Amino acid sequence: MVRYDGKHFTQFWEHGSSVSTDREGNIWSSARDSVFRYDGRTMVPFMVPMDRSAITQYAILPGRASMRLHDSKGNYWFRTDGAGAFRYDGKNFTQFTKNDGLCSNTVNDIKEDDAGNIWFICMQAYQPEMTNDGGLCMWDGSRFTTFNDVNGLHHNDLYTLFKDRAGRLWVGATGVGAYRNDGKSFTLFNTTDHPDLNAIFGLQGMTEDAKGILWCGFSGGLFRLDPSTENASFRHVPREGPWE
């Protein structure tokens, strides 16, 4: 993991496959077999209690975990490869798996909406054969809701879940497009000026600039989307821009 002080990059920890922060500003990272929290001086191991021997379906790194969300109630949420999701309330851990209604046991990201619901994107296991699960699901505090009536949000591998400044959630639906959820319904954005580069809509990352433009990293390159325009479309951004 590398730290930037405004002038220089310094490697201060040789591990770290993901980095996140909680609501108190603490830095979290993860290695292959452990989760760590930075205490201001060093990375301290934070044990997520899972039984890796119980992971029977294929996972790229079975049991790998990372802290993805510190919710408005103070709970910490961890995603894992093959063991579902874990919630830590400061004292106890609760594990959520497919048996509880989660889309799959491999979770890619977790976000909270403005109403306090917790959203998960998941992917399927694909060896020795596809498990045909994965997708988007939402936890309202008592049960999971899946979205089997929305094309691309079920039985699919989802990699990007993003919350914009207006509080709307964006979900990359692989092979279909990107959905925006305003708390009531889903709106699909699936037009592009370069279908040769992102027709499969493999959305790997999304962020929002000060003007409300969404910058999207697809498997085929960088695109931008202005959702405020009529018939908004993904526009390819080559090396020369446009950057404004």
Per-residue pLDDT tens digits for 123-161: 998 888 888 999 999 999 999 999 999 999 999 999 999
Q: For 63, which DSSP code?
A: T
Residue-level pLDDT at 2: 77
Lowest-confidence segment of 32-36, 50-54, 78-82, 182-186 by average pLDDT: 32-36
Residue-level pLDDT at 15: 63
**Are 12 and 46 spatial neighbours (Cβ–Cβ below 8 Å)?**
no
Lowest-confidence segment of 52-61, 92-101, 137-146 by average pLDDT: 52-61
How many helices (H) and strands (E) would you count in the chain? 1, 22
In this prediction, residue 3 has a pLDDT band, given cuts at 50, 70 and 90, of: confident
Cα radius of gyration (the chain): 18
Residue-level pLDDT at 57: 85
Average pLDDT, the chain: 93
Whole-prediction pTM value?
0.94
